[in-house]
Amino acid sequence: MPDRYHIKTVATPGRFYRVGKFGEVDWREDCSRCFDCVKLKCCFDVYKHETEHNRDPRTATQPLYECKACMSCVQGCTKGLLTLSVNPEYLDMGDEYWKPDVLFTTWNQADTGKIPVSGAGYRGPFHGFGFDSIWTDMSEIVRPTRDGIHGREYISTSVDVGPKPMRLQFTPDGALVESSLKVLELPVPIVLDVPAWAVRGAELAEARARAAQELGTIAAAYVEDAAKLPAELLASVAPVVGCADVSKPGKQAEGALKAAKLVELLDGTDDEVAKAVEALAALNPQAIPAVRLTLVPGVYGRIVELAKRGVKVFHLCADPHGCEVLKGGAQGRHIKDAIRETHGKLVEAGIRDEVTLIVSGGIALAEHMAKAIICGADAVGADTALLVALGCRVCAGAHALSVHGGAKDGAAPCPDCPADGVLAKATEDLQYAAQRMVNLMGAWHSQLIEVLGAMGIREVRRLRGEMGRAIFMEDIEKDAFGDLEQVPEEVNA
């Protein structure tokens, strides 16, 4: 058995201003100065930390971030002076996909690298948009040799990226054709992807590359950023490069391309792609060429086409809400539906096992990774989530996020966005930024194992396309409630 894959997480408190969920209103004028004030009894020391913060505002923690709304102080105060309310600033964060709770849990996971655990059952809506209408299966009894996620058994999260020929090829004199065997094994089914909008920069790319190196995976970076990275990181970087630029790269970019194990080409004409693949093979025979495609309806057509021409790895980029990008910038279906379709079409075309699909955009939580894989992805890309780990609040207006596809090159980040200053500062200290990314991925990895463990599946490769082991809301509701009389919703309003 190989050594168990382990992600080393290190507690790394965030250095950015955090928005807590609850705000406390304290009517101090009426306070009777009770000797056993409820504030002293807060189980989470919220008031103690508030006092510290008042004495020295430079302390890192924002006191109200820690309040759990247990209501003990509110209900216990002798004179009833304390009131809790939901912090409007909290509710204002993010958008309808990157909900405040998503940002909150991502920050916490990047702090500690631990799986979020809480009591008292599930608290959210019954089902929702996109991934929130899928449940994963679990296995009740019939499953030998499993000892829980804390046990002896090894659950593999490795995936293979690269052309996977259905059979080995040999030359007439019996030698193995090496080029047919270029596969890159990633120990986690995640690549660290470039942000979907214009907060790029060499620092951020370097933080991603360091994290990828630590995790044993790959970070995507635009080739001009990749060119600026220290040489020892280049093996962990997949340069994203235009087809034309492969044939005549600048000196530094050439270094990046030569060291890369995976190169993501921006799609061009058939001819351009073919030329770029050829040029890459000449420059770096070991590099696996991939094509980075925007997720549009019918994208499988392009995949089949390119696969015929020898490209076997595809990186499908959805918009930051995980949706297809339609003409004119409108939002299409969610990746949950788009990937299921793509996967099915590739199965029909008989090439599903030969190609690798990496899907990014809208992968906001660990469960999204598991569900995207169930829907047919081999691996996912984490992009916006990595920014969130560094304090980004996905403030829509700021980075042209509302423009689908996001990356409006050169668009200046919004000067008001608190995250920007924070990102810049965070990336000054690359180790800090990388460690928070590693922590987040560590937490995601553990959660993936929880999901796999519950299903009784021992490796993530077998999760791909396992739609029979998922419960889709559209189907189950019809089974369960199809026979109930339907009444218009307004009736009960």
Q: Binds 166, which of other proteins, ligand SF4, none (CB < 5 to 8 A, cut-off by type)?
A: none
Reading the block at residue 337, the tokens are 């539906």
Reading the block at residue 12, the tokens are 């790394």
Smaller CB separation from ligand SF4, 124 or 415: 124
Q: Which residues pair with 237 in a beta bridge?
A: 219
Residue among 31, 149, 349, 396 that touches other proteins (CB under 8 A): 149
Residue with tokens 């770029």: 276
- What backbone torsions phi and psi does residue 314 show, to the nearest 5 degrees? -130, 135
Give me the count of residues in the chain.
493
Residue ranges in 81-120 that form contacts with other proteins under rule CB under 8 A:
83-86, 96-97, 105, 115-120
Q: Binds 331, which of ligand SF4, other proteins, none (CB < 5 to 8 A, cut-off by type)?
A: other proteins
Q: Which stretch binds other proteins (CB under 8 A): 69-77, 181-189, 304-312, 341-349?
A: 69-77
How far is residue 200 from each of residues 203, 381, 407, 432, measured CA to CA in Å?
8, 16, 9, 18
Structural contact between residues 10 and 113, judged by C-beta atoms closer than 8 angstroms: yes
Residue among 185, 232, 348, 475 that touches other proteins (CB under 8 A): 475
DSSP H helices in 138-218: 202-215
What is the C-alpha separation between 192 and 196, in angstroms, rounded? Answer: 12
Residue among 73, 102, 256, 437 that touches ligand SF4 (CB under 6 A): 73
Measured from the CB of residue 67, what is the shortest distance to ligand SF4 in angstroms? 3
Collapse the DSSP code of 370 into the 3-class scheme (helix H, G, I; strand E, B; otherwise coil) and give the result.
helix
What is the C-alpha separation between 442 and 438, in angstroms, rounded? Answer: 6
Residue ranges in 111-130 that form contacts with ligand SF4 under rule CB under 6 A:
119-120
**Is residue 447 within the footprint of other proteins (CB under 8 A)?**
yes
Measured from the CB of residue 334, what is the shortest distance to other proteins in angstroms? 8
What would you report as the CA-atom Rg of the chain, rounded to the nearest whole angstrom?
25
Q: Which residues pair with 334 in a beta bridge?
A: 323
Measured from the CB of residue 117, what is the shortest distance to ligand SF4 in angstroms? 12
Smaller CB separation from ligand SF4, 26 or 354: 26
**Is residue 488 within the footprint of other proteins (CB under 8 A)?**
yes
How many residues sit in the footprint of ligand SF4 (CB under 6 A)? 14
Smaller CB separation from other proteins, 130 or 249: 130
**Is residue 71 within the footprint of ligand SF4 (CB under 6 A)?**
yes
Q: Binds 46, which of other proteins, ligand SF4, none (CB < 5 to 8 A, cut-off by type)?
A: ligand SF4
Residue with tokens 């090159």: 409
Q: Which residues of 137-147 are buried (b: 16+ CB within 10 A; e: fewer)?
A: beeeeeeeeee
Q: Binds 1, which of ligand SF4, other proteins, none (CB < 5 to 8 A, cut-off by type)?
A: none
Collapse the DSSP code of 51 into the 3-class scheme (helix H, G, I; strand E, B; otherwise coil) and give the result.
helix
Angle at 216 between CA 157 and CA 110, to 5 degrees: 80
Smaller CB separation from other proteins, 349 or 403: 403
**Is residue 144 within the footprint of other proteins (CB under 8 A)?**
yes
Measured from the CB of residue 59, what is the shortest distance to ligand SF4 in angstroms? 17
Q: Which stretch binds ligand SF4 (CB under 6 A): 39-47, 200-208, 420-428, 439-447?
A: 39-47
Please name which of 151, 163, 219, 218 lies closest in space to residue 186, comparing C-alpha atoms.
218
Amino acid present at 476: I
Q: Which stretch binds ligand SF4 (CB under 6 A): 1-9, 67-75, 308-316, 384-392?
A: 67-75
Per CB under 6 A, residues contacting ligand SF4 are 42, 44, 46, 67-74, 84, 119-120
